[in-house]
Structures are given as C-alpha cells and as structure tokens.
Structure 1
C-alpha cells in the first residue's frame, strides 16, 4: 500500500469534514465550494483505488485478504460521492452534516485499509 497517499487522503477527508462541520454549525447547506472539495477528495480516493488494483495485479497480497481489501477500496471510493449526492438532495444544514460524517468515515476507512494491507 502506498502509505503517503493513504495519509494524504485521510487528512484531506478530515479537513473536508471539519469544513462541512463548520458549515453545519453555522446552519448552512453544502455549497458549490464544498462539492468541489468532495470532488477533490473523491479524486484522491480514485487514485488510491487504482494504485491498490495495480498493486494487486503485480502480485502483491494484503495481509488480511484480497476480498476485504478490495471491498474497502471500493467502499472508500464510493463514500464521498454518495454523501455529495445526498447533500444535494438535502439543501439544509443536514446536507453539510452528511458530508462531514462521510469525511470522517473515509478517514477511518483509510486507517482500516492500512491495517488490512499489513501496516
């Protein structure tokens, strides 16, 4: 597993969570800037998905199993886009809460991916 990418993705997800949490605290819905942040962090998760699949294709094996590793990779990639779409449907502060929660979940998934790989 490419550890610097995992750390950058987790930190970016936590920063997005804090930003959207601040918007929720101020009773604001997600705005276009928040959704751009969702797109940037989702792009990091996509890069991590590609890197993980390439490592598996090269014959490297995660310590806790390939199936669970791929499941976590796909889940971490889909986490923020799903929350972004939900926040578009819910144009209140709860949309911001949804994205903030997804950012925290993505950071936790990054830690779990590191553990699964054998970190």
Structure 2
C-alpha cells in the first residue's frame, strides 16, 4: 500500500495512545480534545481504507491474500471508534486507558497490514 500513509496512521495512533495514557495516569476521563484526536486518527484510517479498496479494484493483490487484507482493513477502521464508544460508557480514568489501548491496537494492526500487503519480506 502506501508506506507514508501507514506510517502516518501508526504514528498518530501511538500519539493518541500516549496522550490518553497520560490522561489515565493523571486520573482523567476522556475529554472533547481526546475525541478530536480520535476523529483525526479515524479520518486517516478511512483514507487508508479508500486507498486499499482502490488498489484492490485496480487489480493489485496483497501478498498474503485479499480476504485477510480486507478483514484487517475493516478491523483498523473499527478500532478507534470502538474504543471511543467504550470510553463514553466508562467516564473514569479507565475510559482514557481504553482509548490508549485502542491506539496501541491500531498501531499493531497497521504493522500487520503492511506485512500482509507484502512490505516485510522474511
């Protein structure tokens, strides 16, 4: 896929995780600013989804299979919104910890997406 986009999504996801992890450390719940950060990360992931679908429609194939690639793309799109929704139900420091975990999970999903597309050769 696009290496720069994958790096951007991973970096912003890790920044969000650090930011919300610091909020959890300070015993704070998620605030409006955290949700703006989640929206930015989610927007980048949606751009990645569109790029992935366009590349698949042009006939490009991922190294490890199309079905698993699409499954990981959909999982990446759902990671931050799911964490954000769960943080709304838990309005304590643990809500911030949930979003921090979601950011780490998204970064790991990005590494796996890069690997599935054929970016890492063994």
Question: Could you state the TM-score of these two structures normalised by the residue count of structure 2?
Answer: 0.97
Q: Where has structure 1 moved over 4 Å in runs of 4 or more? A: none
Secondary structure of the 2:81 match is: helix
Structure 2 portions without partners, runs of 5+ = none
**In 1, distance between residues paired with 2:88 and 2:40?**
17
* Alignment of structure 1 residues 2-17 onto 2, 5 Å: 2-17=2-17
Secondary structure of the 2:91 match is: coil
Distance apart, 1:22 and its partner CA: 0.1
Distance apart, 1:115 and its partner CA: 0.2
RMSD value over aligned CA atoms? Answer: 0.3
Question: Could you state the TM-score of these two structures normalised by the residue count of structure 1?
Answer: 0.99
Which residue matches 1:92? Answer: 92
**Corresponding pairs, count:** 119
Which residue matches 2:45? Answer: 45
Which residue matches 2:109? Answer: 109
* Alignment of structure 1 residues 63-82 onto 2, 5 Å: 63-82=63-82
Structure 1 portions without partners, runs of 5+ = none
